Amino acid sequence: MDALAPKPPLRGIGYSIRANSPDFDDLGPKLDEAERLGVDFVELPIFAWTLVSGGRVLGDRLARLVKATRNRPFGYTVHGHLAINLMDAPSRLPRHEALLRAALAISGELGAVTMVMHAGCVRGDDDVELSYARQRDALSVAGDWAASAGLTLCVENIFRFEPMRETPLPSRLAMEIDAVGHPHVRATLDVSHAFLRCTDARADFMAEIAALAPFARHLHVHDSFGIPQESWVADGAESMALGEGDLHLPIGWGAIDWDRVASACAMDAGTVVNLELHRRYWSELSAQIEVLRGLEGKFLAAARERAVEAA
């Protein structure tokens, strides 16, 4: 292949497996299932596995995990620890940075092409703009760690939940990543999270995801109604029935217009499209892979149309 040829707009599709055992001793059958489904990538939930203690990687456990993931016909992406918050108070930030460095090292050993981490948030009375500055500084350093691990760190947009005061809208996350300017720091565009955050902020959903898409090397897809969780429920089925919250529904079960999403989002070259399905709906997985391939086709068709218009 010509080294100067443009990279394809998408690198493939995949889905996030769900962790039932902290010792990942049930991983083999899950990877067998992914192999039968013929996906290009599997997203590994290292945040739910016992791999890091006080910022230190547990080498014997990592060696077992690496062995368990070898010799598969697909690649890997990794979801890092949800607790990492690079906008946290200065007194706690070193712990978060140590965990991030450990997670990137694990991801590199697994041969992942990307590692996802959540965008930071402000929970206390810290100054918001100073918190953003801390995150930019930390991401600049983390980009070097990601480069050493041979992967891209992808910062995922999230939504506000109590007692969170601030987390970036997709357009603000795009500005932050642009300001960091590191080739190994990009975004994960989570479409449903953006839907929820935009409802909360009364922002234009399509404009917001379009702003982040060019910085996104990774895409999380799942459905919702874009309504923050407001009601008390006893079971997740009630949240779905009400249409509230971060539901991680099968694509097509919520209110997201995926045709418009595909048309609006001109993503970074080499993006992985990853399905994040709640375990409640796992019986839909096989059918959802077909839907995901169809969505991949929509993104590719939209990219071809943009290329023709730009020619």
CA angle 269, 273, 274 (to 5 degrees): 145
pLDDT tens across 180-229, in order? 999 999 999 999 999 999 999 999 999 999 999 999 999 999 999 999 99
Residue type, position 168, single letter: P
- Please give the backbone phi and psi of residue 146, each rounded to the nearest 5 degrees, phi first: -65, -40
pLDDT tens across 100-153, in order? 999 999 999 999 999 999 999 999 889 999 999 999 999 999 999 999 999 999
Smallest CA-to-CA distance from 51 within 27, 22, 30 is with 22
Smallest CA-to-CA distance from 82 within 132, 116, 129, 37 is with 116
The verdict on pTM exceeding 0.85 is: yes
Structure tokens at 213: 């898409």
Q: Is the peptide bond before 163 cis (omega within 30 degrees of 0)?
A: yes
- In terms of residues, how long is the chain? 311
The pLDDT score that the predictor gives to residue 307 is 86
Q: Is the pLDDT reported for residue 45 higher than 70?
A: yes
Residue type, position 271, single letter: T
What are the sequence ranges of the domains in the chain? 10-310
CATH 3.20.20.150 fits 10-310, yes or no: yes
What percent of the chain is modeled with pLDDT above 90?
Answer: 91
The pLDDT score that the predictor gives to residue 163 is 82
Q: Extract the runs of DSSP E, i.e. beta strands, from 136-276.
A: 152-156, 185-190, 216-221, 271-275
Distance CA 95, CA 122 (A): 16
Confidence of residue 4 (pLDDT cuts 50, 70, 90): very low
